Amino acid sequence: MDFVKRAVCMGAFAAVAIGTTACGRPFKVETAPGFVELDNQEPQYSYRAIAPEGVVMAVRVVPLDDKGDLAFWTRSVILRFRQMNAYALLETVDVTSRDGTPGKELRFGHDEAGKPYLYRVRLFVAQNRLFVIEVGGTKEQMERYKASVDWMLLSVLVKCDTVVSPVLASKTCNRW
Amino acid sequence: MQRVSKLVRLGIVAFGAHLLLACGAAPDMAPKSAPSFGGAAHGAMEAPGAPAPQRPPTDKDNDGVADAVDLAKDERIAQGGGGQGQPKVVADAPHGTSMLIYTATLHLAVFQVTTQMNTVEKIARDQGGYLSVRNDQQITIRIPRGKFDDTLRMIEKLGDVVHRSVTAQDVTDEYVDLEIRLKNNRAVRDRLQALLEKAGVKEAIEIQKELARVTEEIERIEGRLKLLKDKIAYSTITVSFQPLETSTVRDASILPFPWLQDLGLSSLLNVHP
């Protein structure tokens, strides 16, 4: 009987410990070989990784409080770059995250001191949050790193399934 | 006998005066449906059977010269909108349809400007047009009028069109007016040249001055007509790779989400703490 009580207590303690220490990201992303994840990018970015040639991928998480859907935020980002005057929208593509969440990818071109740059932005709305995934670099390097970048983008999870608790899983991906 | 010779002299004077009056009145007498003022005037001066000027000019002839100069002055008034504001001779409008000058301005979002400009230039050449102006941020091409719409569509596909403006300027009135003025001025010039042949030295100087002015006016009108013809035949397309500032609209549309303002390569690629 003591053994059972002790086991229950330990289990409860473990659950509380896991619950309180699990303050990970509400998304999951794999860092491709050739990239290094940078530390201390908060609060601007929740994740940022860089390749030696300067190609950077980053993830922002914006709490939505039930404000705006994917179409609203996609349009907002397009207009924002129009206002910046120096970005050309090259393409808009429908994309899906690894967990099946529909999203949009916007591909921009930009000239900086006569050098062409490419900038890709993916948007997903999930968990009452907006996930903004940005990738950028010179056109030459972006084309060189295209396979790695695509792989990283495909690895993104914005909703995580778990057998432990679907309710908790909707709050975080990296908790377990 | 003296009376007879006086009568003969009077007769000659009357005949000369009649000729000169007819000469001065020619423009008003020309039929309004005449194809050109010049033709009518020449008809009056060089009609078969009309006496050719075989003698040196007389005072009476000089009166005719004065009339011609006055006519030129009248012509100037008519052109400048003086009097009743109508040209003395109405020429038929040469064109039944409107004469339009097409101009388009496109603002494309900036990306690989040099490559895009080369493409625009190539499109112009392929369409039978040519490059007009090119600088760091802007290119202007001239395209045959019939290819205007197609060319515009091709250029629009090159990038993100931020602003588009197409104008069609109707120059029919100006064109017709210029043609009428040209015909009138040519007629005046021809008449002045004819009178110059029989003018005395003093009058010749005055006619020469007027002739110079009319010739200058003809050249100016011909130049303007040539320019209009060119502008009508070739439409102008200006492609700018630097959008115009529209600060009022832009300020109003900035959304109050700080992260949105933070998007872009400068934030993303600046990894230094």
Q: Do B259 and A60 touch (CB under 8 A)?
A: yes
Which residues of chain A have a CB within 8 Å of the CB of B255? 76, 79-80
What pLDDT score was predicted for residue B22? 38
**Residue of B113, B136, B164, B260 to mutate, testing the A interface (most A Cβ within 10 Å of its Cβ):** B260
pLDDT digits 0-9 by tens, A27-72: 899 999 999 998 888 888 999 999 999 999 999 999 988 788 999 9
A62 touching B (Cβ < 8 Å): yes
What is the percentage of chain B residues whose pLDDT exceeds 70? 58
pLDDT tens by residue, B125-175: 999 999 999 988 889 999 999 999 999 999 988 888 888 899 999 999 999
Task: Give B243's contacts in chain A (Cβ within 8 Å).
Answer: 85
Which residue in B has a C-alpha nearest to residue A58's C-alpha?
B268
Closest residue, chain A, to B241 (C-alpha): A86
**Which pairs count as long-range contacts for A106-114, CB under 8 Å and 24+ apart, including other chains?**
A106/A74, A106/A77, A106/A78, A106/A81, A108/A81, A108/B111, A109/A139, A109/B111, A109/B112, A110/A86, A110/B110, A110/B111, A110/B265, A111/A86, A111/B110, A111/B111, A111/B112, A111/B113, A112/B265
pLDDT, greater one: A18 or A161: A161
Residue in chain B lying closest to A67 (CA): B257
Give the residue with greater pLDDT, A170 vs A48: A48
pLDDT digits (tens, 9 = 90+) for B161-194: 888 899 999 999 999 999 999 999 999 999 999 9
Please tell me the predicted confidence (pLDDT) of residue B48: 35
Rounded to a whole number of angstroms, the distance from the CA of A87 to the nearest CA of chain B is: 6
Q: Say which CATH topology domain A24-169 has.
A: Protein Transport Mog1p; Chain A (3.40.1000)
The pLDDT of A140-167, averaged and rounded, is: 82
Q: Provide the mean pLDDT of chain A.
A: 82
Residue B34: predicted pLDDT = 34
pLDDT, residue B75, reads 45
Residue A110 to residue B111, Cβ atoms within 8 A: yes
Neighbouring residues of B154: CB distance < 8 A, sequence distance ≥ 6? B123
- Give the mean model confidence (pLDDT) for residues B40-57: 37
Q: How many angstroms separate the Cα of B224 from the Cα of each of B80, B99, B181?
A: 16, 14, 12
- Contact (CB<8Å) A44/B262: yes
Q: How many CB pairs below 8 A link A and B?
A: 81
String of DSSP letters for chain B: -HHHHHHHHHHHHHHHHHHHHHHHHHHHHS-TT-S-HHHHHHHHHH-TTSPP--S---HHHHHHHHHHHHHHHHHHHHHTT-TTSS-SSPPPPS-SS--EEEEEEEEE--SSHHHHHHHHHHHHHHTT-EEEEE-SSEEEEEEEGGGHHHHHHHHHTTS-EEEEEEEEEE-HHHHHHHHHHHHHHHHHHHHHHHHHHT--HHHHHHHHHHHHHHHHHHHHHHHHHHHHHHHHHEEEEEEESSPPP-HHHHHHH--S-HHHHH-SHHHHH----
B18 against B215, higher pLDDT: B215
pLDDT score of B30 more than 90: no
Q: Distance (Å, rounded) from C-alpha B67 to C-alpha B147?
A: 52
**Taking the domains of chain A in order of start, what are their residue ranges?**
24-169
**What is the pTM assigned to this prediction?**
0.49
**For position A173, what pLDDT does the model report?**
56
CB contact (8 A) between residue B255 and residue A76:
yes
